[in-house]
Amino acid sequence: MAMHTTTFDVKTHDRDEMIDITASIASAVRESKVSDGIVTIYVPHTTAGVTINENADPDVIHDILASLDKIVPWRESFYRHGEGNSAAHVKSSLLGCSARVPIVDGKMTLGTWQSVFFCEFDGPRTRKCIVTVMGE
């Protein structure tokens, strides 16, 4: 079984933002030449995450970010973390820092309306995304 790991930067522009990184993942899958396997997308940050969701209507992304803000407000009296970005840490844990997509016939098996999104919760910053393709 072959294993290929690539890392790329993601530049974010807002405190909270979801950036479609599907094209970068697809290109890592293509370059790996893996025909059947799995790709793992990993974000090595404690205030960012990764998720798979709808790419067609941008209102979906707006609604996800607005909902997260409502569930986890930026300011709360009970937060203890001295850095002042507790909400970003909680959002990161809610969404998680990795996602996996099966690869069949050299392509990710994403649904028609699915994209992979890098999720920034304490931007703007330059972030990293690590993509590992495993398979044959």
Contacts with Zn ion by CB under 5 A lie at 83, 85
Please choose, from the candidates 16, 6, 13, 14, the residue with its C-alpha nearest in 3D space to the C-alpha of residue 70. 16
Residue type at 12 in one-letter notation: T
CB-nearer residue toward Zn ion: 25 or 122? 122
Minimal distance, residue 86 CB to Zn ion, in Å: 7
CB-nearer residue toward Zn ion: 32 or 85? 85
Question: How long is the chain?
Answer: 136
Which residues contact residue 8 at a Cβ distance below 8 angstroms, ignoring those fewer than 6 apart? 24, 28, 128, 129, 131
Position of minimal CB gap to Zn ion: 83
Minimal distance, residue 126 CB to Zn ion, in Å: 17
Minimal distance, residue 91 CB to Zn ion, in Å: 12
